[in-house]
Amino acid sequence: MAQKIRIGVLVSGGGTNLGAIIDASASNRIDAKVVFVGSDNPGAYGLKRAQKHGIPTFVVDYQAIIKETRGRPLEDMVPEDLDLERVLARQGIAPASSDRMKIERYFCTRAIAEAALLREMAAYPFDLLVLAGFMRVLTPYFIDRVNTDPSQPRIMNIHPALLPSFPGTDGYGDTYRYGCKVGGCTVHFVDYGEDTGPVIGQKAFEIVPDDTIDTVREKSVKLEWQLYPECIQLFAEGRLKVVSKTYTLENGAEINRKIVEIST
């Protein structure tokens, strides 16, 4: 049997995707082992799931951190290695943008929380970081410290919609309310946007007139529980490569796209 890769998982809630990954690992359906589970939410049931399996857990309480920073100067609290200008540039925020102060504060508070996450994670070397219902947007400060080799992204996310449609916190709800005939889920490598980055895999299901939001969610989570382990296994087998492709139209215009190639 192939050597198992080490995966770290971040969750904010119930952790049913985490459960599917733990089961897939326990039954050797994936060559991967969960080495830690972290959360921004002390009440996340996903932490209990992990503990039941003897997996180490930690919490970085974002809400408490954000509360603690309110009304206080942040200079002494931000991590020493935070290069705010670089983070803002990577995020595409212009130096003269309105609301600059507010934006700077947002990124400083997130970097404080992310530095705490990185400190906790440092205890558990890992090959792949898996976001399984982690409802916080990670900033370039964090992402660049995990993706130390830009050609080898190693943070994955699952989203309950066919991206790039319906990013955000309620992918199924948004799909259902829009009246889509098809819904689905997406696993992708994480870049600097919210639920954006090169797509690794997607699964789709039909939405029929009698469907309710609950039946849609039910159909979809079942597919998530299959899709995430499948994508983790492709990573474990070293079969994923992000490549940039350029396609030239007849009028000379160039179309650039980043795709994940899956080798056989």
Output 46 or 201, the one with its CB closest to ligand GAR: 46
- Write down the catalytic residue from 49, 110, 154, 159: 159
Output 14 or 79, the one with its CB closest to ligand GAR: 14
Output 48 or 119, the one with its CB closest to ligand GAR: 48
Residues 194 and 167 sit within 8 Å (Cβ to Cβ): yes
Q: How many CB atoms lie within 10 A of CB 87?
A: 22
CA separation for the pair 232, 241 (Å, rounded): 13
Question: Minimum distance between the CB of residue 221 and ligand GAR, rounded to whole angstroms?
Answer: 6
Output 108 or 200, the one with its CB closest to ligand GAR: 200
Question: Minimum distance between the CB of residue 1 and ligand GAR, rounded to whole angstroms?
Answer: 27
Residue whose CB is nearest to ligand GAR in the complex, by number: 133
CA separation for the pair 161, 9 (Å, rounded): 20
End-to-end CA distance of the chain: 18
Give the chain's largest Cα–Cα span: 60
Question: Whose CA is closest to 174, among 165, 38, 144?
Answer: 165
Q: How many CB atoms lie within 10 A of CB 29?
A: 15
ω into 73 cis (within 30 of 0) = no
Output 40 or 224, the one with its CB closest to ligand GAR: 224
Question: Minimum distance between the CB of residue 84 and ligand GAR, rounded to whole angstroms?
Answer: 25
Question: Minimum distance between the CB of residue 209 and ligand GAR, rounded to whole angstroms?
Answer: 23
Residues in touch with ligand GAR (CB under 6 A): 11, 13-17, 46, 132-133, 158-160, 169, 171, 195, 221, 224
Output 82 or 184, the one with its CB closest to ligand GAR: 184
The 3-state DSSP class for residue 48 equals helix
Asked if 53 is an active-site residue, the reply is no
Question: Minimum distance between the CB of residue 45 and ligand GAR, rounded to whole angstroms?
Answer: 8
Distances (CA, A) of 2 to 5, 33, 171, 202, 238: 9, 12, 35, 25, 11
Question: Minimum distance between the CB of residue 82 and ligand GAR, rounded to whole angstroms?
Answer: 25
What DSSP letter does each residue of 83-97 carry, written as one string?
Answer: -HHHHHHHTT--TT-
CA separation for the pair 136, 16 (Å, rounded): 18
Question: Whose CA is closest to 110, among 203, 57, 40?
Answer: 40
List, by residue number, the catalytic residues: 159
